Structure 1
Amino acid sequence: MYQILLPLHSLIRWLVLISLLFAIYRAYYGRFKKLDFSTFDNTIMHIAVKILQIQFCIGITLYFISPIVRYFLNNFKTAVHLREMRFFGMEHITMMTIAVFVITIGAEKVSKAKTSEQKYRIMALWFSIGLVLILSSIPWSFSPLTSRPGFRAF
């Protein structure tokens, strides 16, 4: 199961990033052009949130079956001082959980907002904050701290 979920998690991260970037683009574009919040914008927002939540479910499952996390939890006093172990055992899951909550709360606030201007403003702000949290917590292939390949093969 781990050998399937890990590449899937790696692949879906790109869908998360693309969908969030497009939703944020639509939010800023609609806000600055003073457009009505359309059904298309609402659909884009919900698609981005659903992809993110699917990714989160896969990530939580990986967290509980990962050998790295198992080592981290079983050897906490030692592992907390090892950058890669700490990143996957504590930092990555914490920041991604916060990001999912921020984006999900933002989407809920958009749904309750009355005007198009409010909807675009809320979506732009909350989704942008969530995206920054996500970008800061992805183990990028170019990161000197903890790196993973951009794509994993199945």
Structure 2
Amino acid sequence: MMYLPLLASHSLVRWLVLVSLLIAVINAYRGWLSNRRYLKFDDTIRITAVTIAHIQVGIGVWLYLVSPVVDYFLHNFSHAVHERHIRFFGMEHITMMVIAIIIVTIGSSKTKRRQTDKEKFKTMAIWFTIALVIIFLSIPWAFSPFTSRPLIRLF
């Protein structure tokens, strides 16, 4: 069955998403606040963060399609929507993550089109920060009040 390997992959890749976006955000704020030149290296950081985020959403959508939790949610919607854990994975998590990926994508696209280095850094800092906050709040952390999952899920 594909479910468990996808779940483990999705769990592990989240760390790459978080680290790459955090690096991109820190880099963007440093560049913006110090009036640094926007270099090819900065573009590589942006592209890497967006690429990892897109890979993660691809794994997530595939996981969504094969998840027994989501299957239960979709086939028992009237009852399942009232179950916090089931609703989180069936509706809330995927909705917020797709919104975050859209924000990252728009932010990346806008960053490319900005004319000055300061505008590039500022645009990336703002859009990527918003996406990072949404992602962080939508992850089922072990300490989450919404629902929890282990910090690392192995194969």
Please give the range of the TM-score, normalised by the shorter of the 2 chains: over 0.9
The answer to whether residue 58 in structure 2 is matched with residue 26 in structure 1 is no
Aligned equivalents of 1:71, 1:146: Cα separation in 2: 17
TM-score, L = length of structure 1: 0.99
Aligned equivalents of 2:146, 2:73: Cα separation in 1: 17
Deviation at 1:49, TM superposition (A): 0.2
AA partner of residue 151 (structure 1): I
Aligned equivalents of 2:88, 2:81: Cα separation in 1: 9
Give the structure 2 partner of residue 112 of structure 1.
113
AA partner of residue 88 (structure 2): F
Deviation at 1:153, TM superposition (A): 1.2
TM-score, L = length of structure 2: 0.98
Kindly, what percent of the aligned residue pairs are identical? 55
Give the structure 1 partner of residue 77 of structure 2.
76
Deviation at 1:147, TM superposition (A): 0.1
Give the structure 1 partner of residue 94 of structure 2.
93
Aligned equivalents of 2:14, 2:143: Cα separation in 1: 16
Show structure 1 runs of 5+ residues with no match. none
SS of match in other structure, 2:134: helix
SS of match in other structure, 2:82: coil
Deviation at 1:7, TM superposition (A): 0.4
Aligned equivalents of 2:137, 2:92: Cα separation in 1: 10
Give the structure 2 partner of residue 52 of structure 1.
53
Give the structure 1 partner of residue 64 of structure 2.
63
Once structures 1 and 2 are overlaid, which stretch shifts more, 136-145 or 118-127? 136-145
Q: Number of aligned pairs?
A: 154
SS of match in other structure, 1:139: coil
| Superposed CA offset, 1:84-143 (max 9, x none) | 010000000000000000000000000111100100000000000000110110000111
Aligned equivalents of 1:78, 1:86: Cα separation in 2: 10
Aligned equivalents of 1:125, 1:143: Cα separation in 2: 25
Show structure 2 runs of 5+ residues with no match. none
Aligned equivalents of 1:57, 1:120: Cα separation in 2: 27
Q: CA RMSD in A?
A: 0.5
The answer to whether residue 16 in structure 2 is matched with residue 15 in structure 1 is yes
